[in-house]
Amino acid sequence: MEMGVQQQRHRNPKLHTGTQSAGFHGESHCGKSDLTNDSVPLRVELPESCDTGASEILPPHIPQTNNMNDARTQSATDLGKAIGLLQEWYMLDENCIPSVYRLQPIRTHFRDIYSMDPSRRQHARNNWSSSSKKLYSILQEYAPLALSKETASNLLQTVIECEVKQGLQTKGPPEDHCHWFKRYITDIQYNLSTEKASDYTDVCPRKPEFNKPLYEAHTRFLESIHARLRHTNIYEYKVSWGRDGINPHLNRSHLFYTQQLCNDFQKTSIAHFNRNVGSQTTKRVSEGRSRSQATKNWVKEEVLEHVHHCQTLAAFFIGREATLLNLKESLQDSKQKPIILLGAVGCGKSALMAKASLLASDWVSGDLRKAVRFIGITGETRNIRLLLRSLCFQLAEIYNKATFFSEDFSELLNDFYSLLEFAVEDRPLLISLDGLEELSDDYNAGNLSWLPRELPKNVYFIVSMSVEETQATLKKVKEHGDILHIPPLSSTEIEKMINYLLKKDQRKLTADQWCLLLEACSACPDPLYLQCAYRESLNWQSSTPVSDIFLPQTLHQLYSAILTRLEREHGGELVKKVAGLLTLSRNGVTFDELTDLLSLDQMVMQEIQQFQNVSLSKFPLVLWIKLHRDLKIHVVECRTDNTYTFNWAHSALKLNCLKRYFLSKESQLSLHMTIASYFLGKPTICSGESSNWNQEELTSQPLAWVFKKNAEVNRVFNLRKLNGIPYHLLRSNQMSTMITDCLFNFDFLLHKAWGLSIVSVEEDLKATMMLE
């Protein structure tokens, strides 16, 4: 953080669409629905994300005159212009409760904002830049009069204020996690007329003076930080103005300042990191016992992930009373056979499983113990061996049995069957497994041979899956348990769900919009389609005519429409690449992997340079934030490989992206090859011959991170690399590289056996032999 008011790119993201365009809210109370009425509840929303190219926001200008009558006339004229501009850009949206004035999309008045013609696009940006400056000036001048000063202050706070407030609110004392590197330019007030001054502080546009309102607001902001943070966490640097502002290339004192700042930041960060790592270390134990304890801890964390997901799904479960009743009766009369829920993609299997898992305690007598897994919520559940190992540890914990299990699949399966026998009448057991179609091909998990056909007494087993309901498939599935089909939503359930969502989000729709949404959901009566269609309806304003609204009548077509909109607003190459990484990466993609691989894609970087008017070697974080925000419910964070990855929320969207972007085998092979090369530390430049990237800017990918403290050495294994290299090499048909860099690489084999298990190495070997 630096001393000096920030320029426009640091303004409130709620006011500057180049940063982000989430809505901001301020309220004043009144009666009429009119912008000229100062008592209407006012809640202001922003246009869609778009780089405006604006570099400065004009400060408010209040004309001075000695003639009071002239002043009143001038003020009335200015007020009329201000109201006119507000009415041009803000429209009353009665779909919100209470009603809001919403800032219209930029393309409403400047249709060339997404033009492929650079000159037309730049002209539209310049026009929007001018309008945004005027809007900001109006809000800055009149918001304190129309709203309370506190509300106006919150409305106009800068990006850095938002970030600092969020950081200071983190759990624990601020001194434990907050450090302030504060620069103070001692003589900037004498250099406000220079060209560079506006880069460091807010200057009035036509005279060399501080913008007083912004300067005072920034001073209050600095004082608020001083009040929250100890002086030991504040590092202050005084520097004088130079010929070119602050330039270490031209001024030796500036070079000394930047070096000192960087050194202090590095020392502080390393000390902070080491302190946190040191506080989490435990006493060293034997290797075998350490591995067993680590597995126990991992299982406990995984169980919590699935329990939380179960509770979240069940909390928003609506309707389906008849289906729940059928499931209850089937469970009570299960005759020691598993119950298999079958339904189409998006029919609501997961929500039904979650609700049934919570209600089962009322359906079954005794102190029911439960083990719930939603396959895909954690990456390890996709592997049947790891899934069984996790269940074995949980069942052993439930019934207080020994917790030493083999890593071998056959032995784990026997252990799993044996543990089921410990369920007794006063402590029966329910195992719920959702989404069996998400299981990988390892150990032929898809044929369900691992699923017990006959259950011990006091054991209940519910699984769900999506399959093509052909006669042959149904006959095969029926061999493993009793089938219960999940019906589509009824018209009553559809209305009930939409009304619930509208009430929860404090929204309503016009009569025509309601009929259109209801008609679309009735044509595709699945909960997933309803959820996606409803999310699209959040973009509808009360003034939006139904002629401008289109809701395709199948889930596949709806996903295609959503992707088309994202391509238009964020760039086709960017959306395609992100979709590819989410679709083809093993169990999703981490943030660092995503930004690194996007940085290596020249088509993506050229698109950014063309549309954002910037030339960067590293993919800008703000563009992912915008896209992630617009993806909304379609992307989730999943726990896998001791970290978190971004992944599609539903397999239906994954299949849609495969058909849309990677229909050919060659395109899939190419992306798998790119990801494999990245993990191997040999990144390839995609779709281009030249690049500005620097390998030092990429995230380090060692086999393990080593921490040494005195004579003790601790290793954190890079499971993303240990699992990712074989996975992507095999799927890109790089057999020779697989053999040399994995199967006959002692260092790799040692780390994989050490960090995972010998069985994991055997799985890689078997997978390679099968492909060859």
Instruction: Give the per-residue pLDDT at 244.
Output: 85
For the record, the structure tokens of 141 come out as 């001048």
pLDDT at 25: 32
| pLDDT at position 527 over 90 | yes
Q: Which of 123-137, 275-289, 293-307, 661-675 has the highest mean pLDDT?
A: 661-675
How many CA atoms are closer than 13 Å to the CA of 638, on its beta-carbon side?
25
pLDDT of residue 471: 65
pLDDT-based confidence at residue 238 (cuts at 50, 70, 90): very high
Look at the alpha carbons of 589, 591, 597, 601 in this order and tell me if their dihedral is positive or negative. positive
Lowest mean pLDDT among 160-174, 272-286, 388-402: 272-286
Residue 657 banded pLDDT, cuts 50, 70, 90: very high
Does the pLDDT value for residue 79 go beyond 90?
no
Average pLDDT value for residue range 701-709:
85
pLDDT score for 80? 84
What is the residue-wise DSSP string for 598-650?
A: HHTBHHHHHHHHHHH----SS--HHHHHHHHHHHGGGEEEEEETTEEEEEESS
**Mean pLDDT for the chain overall:** 83
Between residues 378 and 33, which one has the greater pLDDT? 378
**pLDDT higher than threshold 70 for residue 469:** no
Amino acid at 294: A
Please give the pLDDT value at position 695.
Answer: 58
Determine the Cα–Cα distance for residues 770 and 761; give it in Å rounded to an integer: 14
pLDDT at 637 over 70: yes
**Average pLDDT value for residue range 89-112:** 88
For residue 562 the two structure tokens come to 């959503």
> What's the mean pLDDT in 741-750?
95
pLDDT value at residue 5: 34
Identify the CA nearest to 16 among candidates 202, 154, 205, 156: 156
Q: Which residues, in sequence order, are bridge partners of residue 369?
A: 429
pLDDT at 451: 92
The first and second tokens of residue 612, run together, are 């954002």
**51 falls in which pLDDT band (50, 70, 90)?**
very low
Highest mean pLDDT among 155-169, 198-212, 647-661: 647-661
pLDDT score of 28 more than 80:
no
According to DSSP, the residues that pair with 234 across neighbouring strands are 180
pLDDT at residue 470 in the model: 63
Strands 90-93 vs 100-103: parallel, antiparallel or unpaired = antiparallel
pLDDT at 684: 73
